[in-house]
Amino acid sequence: MKNIILKEKVLIKNGFLFVKNKYFGKIKIPNDIILNLKENNIFLSSISFKKKNEISFLKTIKNLLIGINNLWQKTIFFSGIGYKIFIKKNEIYLNLGFSDSKILVIPNYITIEIFKEKIVLKSVFKDKIGIFVNKLLKIKKFNPYKKKGMFLENPILKKSSKKKQ
């Protein structure tokens, strides 16, 4: 049995955990996990006695509690001649040197700000923002030789050695 001390407003209803403070978040509770709410504490226990399910759900709750107070943020940089990115309604259009622009639907739990050569993504959910960032990065991978493409804030540049031995 795990215990989480809360400062946020919490509601457990119909198999969902609703949390509200500065922002709002909701998670589906897995079938093998029982949540009990008493005063400012959540007690988490597993029916199937599988530690990994319990620990995994505990970490998602903790990430949600951090994201509710101050949003999770990822910054993607893009560089290349003629690369343009813009937003219309809930879609992001990526003109990255292909014959036609790539279009991605922005989920309603992610907010996007576009600056000159960077995109800032913010969300309450840490795992979901990571999945969306990976979708964006797969569209145009970074080329370390030409220094073109899309990359995160701290890129790990891998170059192969030119000389064979």
- The pLDDT assigned to 155 comes to 61
* pLDDT attached to residue 11: 86
pTM confidence score? 0.84
Most confidently modeled range among 29-33, 130-134, 143-147:
130-134
2-69 and 72-152 share one fold = yes
Least Cα distance to 29 among 19, 21, 41, 39 occurs for 19
For residue range 113-135, list pLDDT tens digits in order: 999 889 999 999 999 999 999 99
Is residue 101 within 8 A of residue 94, CB to CB? The reply is: yes
State residue 163's pLDDT score: 64
Name residue 88's amino acid: K
Domain 2-69: state its class: alpha beta
Instruction: Tell me how far apart the alpha carbons of residues 90 and 87 are, in angstroms, rounded to a whole number.
Output: 7
Closest CA to 8 of 59, 72, 62: 62
Q: Which of 138, 141, 140, 135 is nearest to 121 (CA)?
A: 135
Domain ranges of the chain: 2-69, 72-152
DSSP 14: T
Among 2.60.40.2470, 3.40.50.720, 3.30.70.20, 3.90.930.12, what is the CATH number of 72-152?
A: 3.90.930.12
Mean pLDDT of 85-106: 92
Residue 8: which pLDDT band, with cuts at 50, 70 and 90?
A: confident
Q: How many CA atoms lie within 13 A of 63 on its CB side?
A: 17
pLDDT digit string, tens, across residues 33-88: 888 888 888 888 888 777 888 888 889 999 998 999 899 999 999 988 889 999 99
Confidence band, pLDDT 50/70/90 cuts, at residue 164? low
**Which phi-psi region, left, alpha or beta, contains residue 82 (left: φ > 0; alpha: ψ -120 to 50)?**
left
